[in-house]
Amino acid sequence: MREIDGERFGRWSLRLDALYCAVLGTAVALFAGRIADGLALPPPLIAVAGAAVVVWAGGIVWMLARLSLRAALRSVMIVNVLATVAVGFASATAATLLIVAAVVTVAIDIALFAMSQAIALRALPARG
């Protein structure tokens, strides 16, 4: 089995995470009214959450450009773990099983990004 290049894998993980956040956040903000119909949450809260996710996507890109890769990976991983829990709890407000499944799927996606960042951190060379 080939060894993982922590730097390359970490950069790709952060780039894909930023892209995912930009697309998902935009969709959530644009369709907040429809999403609110399926969740017992007010549309403005959902729209603000979507916009915050888009801003977070920009933050990931900024961290990737300005911080050490290790610091960026660690920061994004921690936020992803917290977001996984928050989104998981949001699934409890869902009106139907299909909506629960959709929200839980997003939580799993976020958890997978956190896991990819943890793998990249482990694969980075030790600090010298």
Q: What is the pTM of this model?
A: 0.92
Question: What crossing angle do the helices spanning 43-66 and 6-30 adopt, rounded to 10°?
Answer: 160
**Amino acid 111: pLDDT:** 97
Q: What is the DSSP code string of the chain?
A: -PPP-HHHHHHHHHHHHHHHHHHHHHHHHHTHHHHHHHBSS-HHHHHHHHHHHHHHHHHHHHHHHHS-HHHHHHHHHHHHHHHHHHHHHHGGGBSSHHHHHHHHHHHHHHHHHHHHHHHHHHHSPPP-
Q: Give pLDDT, residue 2.
A: 75
pLDDT of residue 95: 84
**pLDDT one digit per residue (tens) for the chain, 128 residues:** 578 999 999 999 999 999 999 999 999 999 999 999 888 899 999 999 999 999 999 999 999 999 999 999 999 999 999 999 999 998 888 888 989 999 999 999 999 999 999 999 999 998 75
Q: What is the pLDDT of residue 67?
A: 97
